[in-house]
């Protein structure tokens, strides 16, 4: 072979280069995982998932830029720097979900500061990693191949974890164990580097000891993850946590105390056993009883089965279609003995059909019409839920409502969130439906509001089912009376394009 041929030959990839490229895949996956975990926790605790994910991603990318810029000051012993950075990422990133869980329970005022401080720290460290790998690989890989190979493995790692995070990791492991697992993966990269560069590293024994200590710390965290979650949630919810799970859609927690069971979704109270009958009787019976003889009923949301329990008190009901996004909710409330006792095993009734689907999409696809539609969604704390309170949603609801039918929508507190309450009522009216707003007092929630939507005027029911604990003829007559501090106000219409309700809800409830 001639000298010119030798000069033109492409460098052959060594095992060490292949190992480093594999490390890039793991590094990218871990970095994105920590970013997603921070965004998920921020949306659980602070609400408004779009805002939280946007600010977390922006802060993380900014920190990565800072880390990349700082990498120029690391000139010697690059493998040693890379190993140390991996261990720091493993510790800070891996422990981040557990640390934030505990902070939210024991030091809630410090949560936001700690959240963004840890995101900045992890982002800076991850920003240091890739430039160091590229400079190490530069010893034996041509520049054009180096950039393409590193970016390819970087993007593949990001793709893998972006799919696995919501579909596999969080549902199976939860956020705390997922964070610690990926911290251990960073330690694995550090151990790999320890072996690959064993001939270059000074103080190899000291590096090995630190790797083992970090691995042991994270492994201990994995073993204690359940206790950490219980410790944080027992403090946060005060009562004993009897059931908790993280699904692709939300964090479900059921507690039990002197006041009975309480259900929380993403930290927000959904019902308390001691007074849930007030809420659910007020939600269901003004519309059901006014109809007279409802046969086909739909419930959108309400996966706990409490609204269905009230609906089944009407002998004319032939079918109830429950549309609940999260199958974990309907499974829990149809199988757990303590919870099925609360909803009178309503979800097992042969008249009830459970559909686990997004209510917006279900309304678009389904062609049935219903005598009564009960809309029992969580409050509009983020844009994903806020779309279920828009004029687009209510236009679809209108199409599924029989000419003589009634729909009823739970509509937050007209006292605490007066503008938000009337935004819902005004938005329903904007699609041509008549509205009848009303409110009740539920001790666990305070003053709470609902809106009946219909094509015909609503009238006071002549009779109610026997055995109710709260509603009676006198109570019904008082529900539609709004004092001055809850009276109607003009508002924007809540549209998919503006989500005005989410902004007003966050502003009003943020003051309390």
pLDDT band at 8 (very low <50, low <70, confident <90, very high): very low
For residues 275 and 444, the answer to whether their CB atoms sit within 8 Å is yes
String of DSSP letters for 108-144: GGGHHHHHHHHHHHHHHHHHHHHHHHHHHHTTTS-HH
Residue 144 has a pLDDT of 54
Q: Is the pLDDT of residue 248 over 70?
A: yes
Of 270, 274, 271, which is closest to residue 260 (Cα–Cα)?
Answer: 274
Residue 282 has a pLDDT of 96
Q: Is the pLDDT of residue 6 over 50?
A: no
pLDDT per position as a tens digit, 406-435: 999 999 999 999 999 999 999 999 999 999
Q: Percent of the chain at pLDDT above 90?
A: 60
Q: Is the pLDDT of residue 393 over 90?
A: yes
Kindly state the DSSP code that residue 168 receives in the 8-state scheme: I
Residue 69 has a pLDDT of 94
Query: Which of 239, 304, 376, 379 is the catalytic position?
Result: 376
Residue 47 has a pLDDT of 66
Residue 359 has a pLDDT of 95
String of DSSP letters for 365-376: H----EEEEEEE
Comparing 14 with 399, which gets the higher pLDDT? 399
String of DSSP letters for 90-111: HHHHHHHHHHHHHHHHH-GGGH
Residue 145 has a pLDDT of 59
Most confident of 7-11, 309-313, 507-511: 309-313
| pTM of the entire predicted model | 0.75
Residues in contact with 441: Cβ distance below 8 Å, sequence separation at least 6, in sequence order: 278, 447, 448
Residue 141 has a pLDDT of 52
Q: Is the pLDDT of residue 295 over 50?
A: yes
Residue 15 has a pLDDT of 59
Question: Domain 240-270 belongs to what topology?
Answer: Spermidine Synthase; Chain: A, domain 2 (2.30.140)
Domain 11-235 identical in fold to domain 275-509: no
For residues 186 and 30, the answer to whether their CB atoms sit within 8 Å is yes
pLDDT per position as a tens digit, 128-174: 988 887 787 666 555 455 566 767 777 788 888 888 888 888 878 88
Most confident of 28-32, 385-389, 406-410, 474-478: 406-410
| Right CATH for 11-235 from 1.10.3470, 3.40.50, 1.20.1250, 3.30.420 | 1.20.1250
Task: Give the domain ranges of the chain.
Answer: 11-235, 240-270, 275-509
Q: From the CB of residue 439, how many other CB atoms can be counted at a distance below 10 Å?
A: 23
pLDDT per position as a tens digit, 476-497: 889 999 999 999 999 999 999 8
Q: Is the pLDDT of residue 16 over 70?
A: no
Mean predicted confidence (pLDDT) in 264-293: 93
pLDDT per position as a tens digit, 311-360: 999 999 999 999 999 999 999 999 999 999 999 999 999 999 999 999 99
Residue 10 has a pLDDT of 47
Most confident of 116-120, 267-271, 499-503: 116-120
pLDDT per position as a tens digit, 176-235: 999 999 999 999 989 988 888 888 888 899 999 999 999 999 999 999 988 887 777 777
CA distance 451 to 453: 6
CATH node for 275-509: 3.40.50.150
Place of tokens 């083992």: 212
Residue 274 has a pLDDT of 93
For residues 68 and 128, the answer to whether their CB atoms sit within 8 Å is yes
Mean predicted confidence (pLDDT) in 302-319: 96
pLDDT per position as a tens digit, 461-470: 988 999 999 9
Question: Which of helix, strand or coil describes residue 187?
Answer: helix
Most confident of 69-73, 116-120, 268-272: 116-120
Residue 308 has a pLDDT of 98
Residue 175, token pair as written in the block:
């956020």
The residues pairing with 251 across neighbouring beta strands, listed in sequence order, are 246
Our answer to whether residue 304 is catalytic in this structure is no
pLDDT per position as a tens digit, 36-67: 999 888 887 776 667 788 899 999 999 999 99
Residue 20 has a pLDDT of 66
Residue 13 has a pLDDT of 52
């Amino acid at each position: 072979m001639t000298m010119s041929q030798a000069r033109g030959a492409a460098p052959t990839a060594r095992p060490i280069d292949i190992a480093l490229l594999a490390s890039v895949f793991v590094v990218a996956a871990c970095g994105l995982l920590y970013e997603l975990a921070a965004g998920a926790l921020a949306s659980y605790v602070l609400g408004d998932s779009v805002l939280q994910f946007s600010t977390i991603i922006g802060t993380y990318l900014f920190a990565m830029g800072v880390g990349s810029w700082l990498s120029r000051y690391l000139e010697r012993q690059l493998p040693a720097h890379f190993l140390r950075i991996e261990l720091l990422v493993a510790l800070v990133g891996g422990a981040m979900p557990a640390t934030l869980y505990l902070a939210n329970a024991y030091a809630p005022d410090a949560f936001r500061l700690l959240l963004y401080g840890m995101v900045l720290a992890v982002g800076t460290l991850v920003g240091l990693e890739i430039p160091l790998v590229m400079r190490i690989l530069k010893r034996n890989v041509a520049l054009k191949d180096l950039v393409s190979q590193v970016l390819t493995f970087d993007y593949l790692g990001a793709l893998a974890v972006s799919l696995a995070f919501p579909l596999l990791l969080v549902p199976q492991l939860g956020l705390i164990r997922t964070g610690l697992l990926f911290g251990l993966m960073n330690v694995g990269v550090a151990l790999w580097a320890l072996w690959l560069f064993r001939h270059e590293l000074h103080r190899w024994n000291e590096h090995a000891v630190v790797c083992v200590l970090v691995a042991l710390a994270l492994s201990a965290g994995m073993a204690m993850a359940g206790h950490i979650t219980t410790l944080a949630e027992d403090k946060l919810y005060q009562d004993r946590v009897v059931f908790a799970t993280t699904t692709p859609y939300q964090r479900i927690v059921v507690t039990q105390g002197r006041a009975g069971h309480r259900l929380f979704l993403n930290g927000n109270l959904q019902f308390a056993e001691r007074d849930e009958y007030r809420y659910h009787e007020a939600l269901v019976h003004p519309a059901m009883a006014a109809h007279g003889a409802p046969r086909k009923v739909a419930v959108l949301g309400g996966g706990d089965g409490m609204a269905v329990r009230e609906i089944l008190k009407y002998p004319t009901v032939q079918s109830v279609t429950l549309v609940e996004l999260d199958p974990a909710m309907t499974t829990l409330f149809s199988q757990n003995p303590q919870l099925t006792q609360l909803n009178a095993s309503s979800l097992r009734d042969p008249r009830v059909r459970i559909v686990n689907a997004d209510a917006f999409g279900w309304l678009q696809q389904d062609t049935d019409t219903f005598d009564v539609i009960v809309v029992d969604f969580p409050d509009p704390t983020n844009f994903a839920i806020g779309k279920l309170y828009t004029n687009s949603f209510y236009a679809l609801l209108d199409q599924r409502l029989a000419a003589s039918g009634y729909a009823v929508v739970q509509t937050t507190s007209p006292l605490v969130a007066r503008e938000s309450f009337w935004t819902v009522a005004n938005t329903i009216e904007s699609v041509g439906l008549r509205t009848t707003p009303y409110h009740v007092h539920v001790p666990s929630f305070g003053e709470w509001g609902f809106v009946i939507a219909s094509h015909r005027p609503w009238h006071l029911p002549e009779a109610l089912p026997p055995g109710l604990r709260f509603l009676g003829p006198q109570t019904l007559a008082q529900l539609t009376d709004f004092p001055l501090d809850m009276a109607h106000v003009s508002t924007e219409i809540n549209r998919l394009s503006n989500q005005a309700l989410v902004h007003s809800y966050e502003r009003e409830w943020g003051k309390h």
